[in-house]
A and B are shown apart, each in its own frame.
Chain A
Amino acid sequence: MTITLNNHTESLPIDQMSIMELLQAKQFDWKLLIVKHNGKYIKRAAYEATALKEGDDIMVLSLIAGG
């Protein structure tokens, strides 16, 4: 399955993957994240239930302190 992750094309070795699994595989380790799936904001509670499909566009932002 090929998706776009933060504007880069990513080829994933498996065809079934949730957003949660993608975040773990790509080591988004920060506690606080913003995730958009095809432009739609995804709440943390929905990471596991949201399945990726071919051609999806995922935006992940790790929130870190400082301002």
Chain B
Amino acid sequence: MDVNPISLTFARGVYALELNNMAKSVKEQISDYLSRFTVGIAGCGGLGSNAAMALARVGVGKLLLADFAIITPQCLDRQYFFADQVGKLKVHGLRDNIMKANPKINVKAFDIKLCTSDVIELFTHCDVVIEAFDKAEMKQMIIETMLTNLPHIPLVVGVGIAGWGKNADVHIRRSDNLIICGDEVSALSDQLPVFAPRVGLVAHMQANEVMKLLLKDFISKTADEP
């Protein structure tokens, strides 16, 4: 392979300059910044497992996972688990997968079916909470609890994820600290199951919204600054 000796020398020079500056890239600065935050994940199925992995990869310091279910073969078509994890608790499987992707994250796994008092106790020190339940009754319970008892903590919910396609119908809607992601109409049913692409789309939308909330006061430092 022909390599232009001038460009190679130039590239080496730039690399050496970067090392000398010891300046952190914007990505590293963001990861450092996010390490101070705690995010609660209520439910570790299609929404919760995928959102949690995305937040772990960007460096959110502490994740509180809550779910009572066990990984079954039926979870594997859309949730962030693997075949050799069937039979494990979802919170333990997800904790293991997060640690593989980013060992720096502090993960607390709670094997629990959340009720109102648990939500208040568990999430009271969170910076943001993600609602990722499958049942509508559970969604209502956590929204009602957070709006009533922890209204200062942003709650990012996923509503309307079933089916496939309809990318443009998925939207975000904000009402103070309640942030709604999804199409708000596609309910899970026998005729309209949940599939990996669309639940992943909404899960990552939730994670992206959390990142935006956590980074609202972030200011990146350039190499020129002290």
A13 at interface by CB-CB < 8 Å: no
- Give the interface centre of A33, A43, A63 by most chain B CB atoms within 10 Å: A63
Q: How far is the CA of A6 from the CA of B133 in the complex (A)?
A: 23
Give the interface of B toward A (CB within 8 A). 43, 45-48, 132-137, 139-140, 143-144, 147-148, 157-162, 173, 175-176, 178, 180, 184-189, 194, 199
Number of interface residues of A (CB under 8 A): 19
Contacts of B136 in A (CB 8 A): 30-32, 63-65
Q: A34-B140, A59-B175 are in contact. Are A67 and B186 (CB under 8 A)?
A: no
Q: From B134, B175, B194, name the one whose CB has the most chain A CB atoms within 10 angstroms.
A: B175
Known: A31-B136, A32-B137, A36-B175. A65 touches B144 (CB 8 A): no
The answer on a CB contact under 8 Å between A65 and B176 is: no
On whether the beta carbons of A64 and B147 are closer than 8 Å, the reply is: no
B180 to chain A: which residues have CB within 8 Å?
Answer: 61
Q: Is the pair A67, B147 in contact by a Cβ cutoff of 8 Å?
A: no
- Interface code A30-57, partner B: CB below 8 Å = 1, 0 otherwise? 1111101001010100000000000000
Distance in angstroms between the alpha carbons of A34 and B143 in the assembled complex: 8
Q: Which 4 A-B pairs have the closest CB atoms?
A: A66-B188, A64-B187, A67-B134, A41-B147
> Which residue among A6, A39, A61, A66 has the maximum number of chain B CB atoms within 10 Å of its CB?
A66
Whether a CB of chain B sits under 8 angstroms from the CB of A24 is no
The A contact surface, by secondary structure, is: loop
Cβ–Cβ < 8 Å partners of A32 in chain B: 136-137, 139-140
Residues on A lying within 8 angstroms of B by beta carbon are 6-7, 30-34, 36, 39, 41, 43, 59, 61-67
Check if A62 sits within 8 Å of B134, measured CB to CB.
no
21 contacts between A and B (CB under 8 A): A31-B136, A32-B136, A32-B139, A34-B147, A36-B147, A36-B175, A36-B176, A39-B176, A59-B175, A61-B175, A61-B178, A62-B159, A63-B140, A64-B159, A64-B184, A65-B188, A66-B159, A66-B194, A66-B199, A67-B46, A67-B133
Which chain B positions have C-beta within 8 A of A7? 173
Q: Are B140 and A67 in contact (CB under 8 A)?
A: no
Q: Which residues of B contact A63 (CB under 8 A)?
A: 136-137, 139-140, 143, 159
B residues near A30, Cβ cutoff 8 Å: 136
Q: How far is the CA of A36 from the CA of B158 in the complex (A)?
A: 18
Which residues of chain B are within 8 angstroms of A36 by Cβ–Cβ distance? 147, 175-176, 178
Taking a contact as CB atoms closer than 8 A, the residue among B144, B161, B178, B185 that contacts A67 in the complex is B161
Check if A66 sits within 8 Å of B173, measured CB to CB.
no
Known pairs A36-B175, A59-B175; A64 contacts B185 (CB<8 A): yes
* Chain A residues positioned under 8 Å from B43 (CB to CB): 67
Q: Quick check: B175 and A64 within 8 Å, CB to CB? A: no
Q: In the complex, which residues of chain A have a beta carbon less than 8 angstroms from the beta carbon of B137?
A: 32, 63
